[in-house]
Amino acid sequence: MRAGGPDEKDGPVERVPSPSRLRHPDRSVPELRAQLVDLLCDRAPADARAALSFGAAIDHLTGTVYGSAPLWGDEAVPYDVAAELRRRRPDVTWQLVNDVTAALLDFAAVHAGPEVRRVAYLTVSSGVALRTADLERRRIPVDGQGLQGEVGHLPVPLTDPGADVLAGLPCECGARDHVASIASGPGLVRVADRLGLSRPAEVADWLPAALAAKNQGAQRLLELCAAPVAHLLRTLWCLDPHLDLVGIGGGVTEGLAGHYAAEIRRRLAAATSYADRGRDDEWLDGRLLFCAPGQVDPLRGAQRVGDWLPGITR
Binding site for Zn ion (CB under 5 A): 153, 171, 173, 175, 178
CA 3, 297, 78, 16 dihedral sign is: negative
We find the least distance from the C-beta atom of residue 173 to Zn ion, in angstroms, to be 3
**Nearest-approach distance from CB 178 to Zn ion, in angstroms:** 4
Shortest Cβ 150–Zn ion spacing (Å): 9
> Least distance in Å: CB of 69 to Zn ion?
7
For residues 4 and 250, which CB has a smaller minimum distance to Zn ion in the complex?
A: 250
Which lies closer to Zn ion via its Cβ, residue 68 or residue 253?
Answer: 68
Q: How near is the Cβ of 180 to Zn ion at its closest, in Å?
A: 5
Q: What is the spatial distance between Cα 138 and Cα 107, in angstroms, rounded to a whole number? A: 15
Determine the distance from the C-alpha atom of residue 91 to the mean position of all C-alpha atoms in its chain, rounded to a whole number. 31
Return the number of the residue (129 or 302) whose C-beta is nearest Zn ion.
Answer: 129
Residue 124 or 173 with smaller CB distance to Zn ion: 173
When the beta carbons of 131 and 279 are compared against Zn ion, the nearer one is 131
What is the nearest approach in angstroms of Zn ion to the Cβ of residue 48?
35
Q: Could you tell me if 124 and 248 are in contact, meaning their C-beta atoms sit under 8 angstroms apart?
A: yes
> Among residues 21 and 153, whose Cβ is nearest to Zn ion?
153
Amino acid at 234: R
Min separation Cβ 127 and Zn ion, Å: 8
For residue 230, CA distances in Å to 157, 225, 250, 268 come to 11, 10, 15, 6
* Helices 203-212, 185-194: crossing angle, 10 deg rounding: 70
Residue among 210 and 232 whose Cβ is closer to Zn ion: 232
In whole angstroms, what is the distance from residue 154 CA to residue 74 CA? 15
